[in-house]
Amino acid sequence: MKAIAIFNGSLQDIDLPLPEVLPHDLIVRVEAISVNPVDTKVRKGTAPDAPARVLGWDVAGTVTAVGSAVTRFAVGDAVYYAGSLVRPGANSEFHAVDERIVGNKPATLSMEQAAALPLTSITAWEALFDRLGIDRHGAHAGKRILLIGGAGGVGSIAIQLAAKLAKLEVIATASRPQSSQWCRALGAAHVIDHHGDMAAQLRSLNIAEVDYILCMNSTDAHFAAMAEAIAPQGKICTIVENQAPLAVDPLFRKSATLVFELMFTRSMFGTPDMDQQHALLNEVAALIDAGILRSTLGAAAGSINAANLTRVHAALESGSTIGKVVLAGFDC
């Protein structure tokens, strides 16, 4: 089968055997993929002399085979998912994935539109509802949340979940007119610039503090601002690893919570609640089909091959993308 792998320091078109089917696995014909910062991080962290590794953790496609223990899906089902960091990625014509982290594709979306959603939807959902403890049915309606990096992939779905499900007052950050407009269209009540003094910008909006913060940009760069803006007994979640020790004293004085979110944790450790990702992807699909949420597809970048993937990786690393960038169909 055709695949794209990181090999000898660059993304290359290669041929690989078809994947083995484990008992809980689906074999999926990959029809569309999207690219995430994790792809670029893994690429950059792969040694030049390492064996070829297939990247890619966002898929929409069709089930072509099922393992002996599969109960949730059948051949022919249209699915979407993010996969596991400890298994081969999905930049390949066919991909093996555990059914417990797979959802039924939203019926109203194309494969391209669906491929924009899985990894970021899981991340945003877990961050907001599991880590920060926000009630998704509106019990915390009216509370304020600051979303740092609102126009990115995770931010684009987090705005919608926070505003439309949880009914929070959403303050998103964006640094360009286009990204600011994108955030407002998705449901942000206010937009501020994370390159400026965020606390001062909040005060200019008569917002002295926020109840929740979800950081999707740079924990190191924004930690001091987050510590200043968070309310006493408030909660901060970050999806970005810090590169240096954090000065957490201000959080101690406020009895504030700092928690991390990595959507690969459940699949990486095979946690007992691993199938929660199957359930939440199905719930996201239902919300999409009901018109409550929308796809975060920002741009289509052509067919799935090494040249196009290399170009998309560069765009993500430049910080110039809005929403998710998707590729569809193999041409390598």
- Both 256 and 155 in a single domain? yes
Tokens 């924004």, located at residue: 222
| 89 and 33 Cβ atoms separated by less than 8 Å | no
**Spatial CA neighbour of 326 closest among 292, 297, 305:** 297
Q: Does the residue 267 lie in any domain?
A: no
316 and 233 within one domain: no
Residue 242 identity (one-letter amino acid): N
Q: Are residues 177 and 309 in the same domain?
A: no
Other beta carbons within 10 angstroms of residue 151's beta carbon come to 29
Regarding whether 127 and 109 lie in a shared domain, the answer is: no
Confidence class for position 44, pLDDT limits 50, 70, 90: confident
pLDDT single digits (tens) 276-323? 999 999 999 999 999 999 999 999 999 999 999 999 999 989 888 889
pLDDT at 332: 52
pLDDT at 9: 85
- Both 193 and 113 in one domain: the answer is no
Which residue reads 């910062």 in tokens? 37
- What pLDDT is stored for residue 65 in this prediction? 98
Among residues 212, 239, 260, the one where a domain terminates is 260
pLDDT in tens, 166-205: 999 999 999 899 999 999 999 999 999 999 999 999 999 9
Asked whether residue 206 falls in the same domain as residue 247, the answer is yes
- Residue by residue, DSSP assigns 166-223 as S--EEEEE-SSHHHHHHHHHHT-SEEE-TTS-HHHHHHHTT---EEEEEE-S-HHHHH
Q: Domain for residue 265, yes or no?
A: no
**Domain at 54, CATH number:** 3.90.180.10
Reference 328, options 306, 305, 310, 295; nearest CA is 305
Q: What is the pLDDT of residues 248-258, one digit of tens each?
A: 999 999 999 99
Mean pLDDT of 121-137: 98
Phi, psi dihedral angles at 27 (to 5 degrees):
-100, 125
Instruction: For 146-156, write each residue's pLDDT tens digit.
Output: 999 999 999 99
Domain assignment of residue 268, yes or no: no
Same structural domain, 20 and 58: yes
In-domain check, residue 219: yes
Q: Same domain for 69 and 139? A: no
Q: In terms of Cα–Cα distance, which of 201, 165, 163, 167 is closest to 185? A: 163
What is the rounded (10 degree) CA torsion for 32, 34, 39, 40? Answer: 130
Tokens in use for 54? 């297939």
In a domain, 62, yes or no: yes
Phi, psi angles (nearest 5°) of residue 17: -65, 160
Residue 76's nearest CA partner among 115, 118, 109, 104 is: 104
Instruction: Quickly state the pLDDT bin for 45 (edges 50, 70, 90).
Output: confident
Sequence-ordered list of residues with C-beta below 8 angstroms from that of 68, at least 6 positions apart, any chain: 23
Residue 145 corresponds to which tokens in the numbers above? 């949340």
The phi, psi pair for 9, rounded to 5°, reads: 85, 5
Question: Given this model, what pLDDT does residue 318 score?
Answer: 87
CA dihedral 245, 248, 250, 255 (to 10 degrees): 170
Amino acid at 291: G
> Nearest 10 degrees: CA dihedral of 268, 269, 274, 277?
-30
Whether residue 165 is found in the same domain as residue 37: no
Structural domain of 160: 120-260
Q: Over the stretch 209-232, which tens digit does the pLDDT of each residue have?
A: 999 999 998 999 999 999 999 999
Report the predicted TM-score, pTM, of the whole model to 2 decimal places: 0.95
Of 234, 260, 286, which residue sits at a domain end? 260
Q: What is the pLDDT of residue 131?
A: 98
Domain count, the chain: 2
Q: Do 111 and 237 sit in the same domain of this protein? A: no
Six-digit token string for 319? 């910080």
Q: What is the pLDDT of residue 320?
A: 80
Q: What is the structure's pLDDT at 103?
A: 98
Q: What is the C-alpha to C-alpha distance for residues 243 and 218, in angstroms, rounded to an integer?
A: 9
Same domain assignment for residues 56 and 187 = no
